Amino acid sequence: MRYRERGSIGIIVPPRSNETILEEAFRIRPAGVSWCFSTLGLPEFGQRDFDAALETVERAAIELAERRVSVIAFTGVPLSSSKGVDYADRLRERISTAVGGAIPVETDTRLVTRALRMLGAKRIALVTPYRREVLANVRRQLEGQGFEVASAVGRELRLAQLITDPDFDTAYDAARESFAVTPDIDAFFLSCPQWPVVGAIARLEAATGRPVVTQLQAVVWWAAEVIGLADTVSGFGRLLEHHRPPAARVPGAYRRAPTPGVTALRAPP
């Protein structure tokens, strides 16, 4: 037996220092599945820092590939939304190319979009800890994907504050306040895995009757499909409990590709 008995989720996270996302990830992971983290060294919010962090994405992906993860997910909605509506698609291609196309790759932006559509959502309540300029970018990105953002709530927090200040009720309370003002929505998107949200998913769904999507939840939902898990985890919302994707192929072990000068992996025949 080992930690990754059923698979390993490689995840790329922007901040140099991480805390909450680690706790949240281990709460929501399926049994027998491990997480493997690679960071981009982001010190603070801001376009210059976003651009510098995005320059290191290929390195982060290759390091995850060398650790033989089952899938790779990029998380970083503030970064991808700062570069335009379609940037998440281009970023996915960059990461996939970096690992030789051998490992399934996705971005949290694409997965959240897919999850919201699976849930039949068109009119969204966006709840985040992001500053005004980041919140505006995320809103534009959702609207560019065809969603109507009925309300958008943020907080004027620096990156370190965002990670350390919110408590277990912060996102829940913000979402309830948003819902009291704008109840005519189809779903909530609690954006950012760096503040406590996974514990709010089931509570908020019970209180409002609306489904909730978060980034880590969407990553687990997708990874379960790709790895081929027949089960995920309970207690973290409708997406995982009632909309489980069909089992797919199990990626299995990967080995290093013998291409000179290229660090990538290839699936065994």
Quickly list H helices, the chain. Answer: 20-28, 47-54, 57-66, 77-81, 87-98, 108-118, 132-144, 159-164, 170-181, 201-208, 215-227, 238-242
244, part of any domain: yes
pLDDT at 247: 43
Instruction: Decide the pairing of beta strands 265-266 and 255-256.
Output: antiparallel
CB 122 within 8 A of CB 145: no
266, part of any domain: no
pLDDT tens-place string over residues 171-223: 999 999 999 999 999 999 999 999 999 999 999 999 999 999 999 999 999 99
Please state the domain count of the chain.
1
Name the residue range of residue 192's domain. Answer: 7-256
Query: At 229, is the pLDDT very low, low, confident or very high (cuts 50, 70, 90)?
Result: confident
CB 265 within 8 A of CB 254: yes
Q: Which residues pair with 126 in a beta bridge?
A: 152, 189
CA distance 263 to 75: 22
Structure tokens at 170: 């912060």
261, part of any domain: no
pLDDT tens-place string over residues 71-126: 999 999 999 999 999 999 999 999 999 999 999 999 999 999 999 999 999 999 99
194, part of any domain: yes
Read off the CATH number of the domain in which 25 is found: 3.40.50.12500
2, part of any domain: no
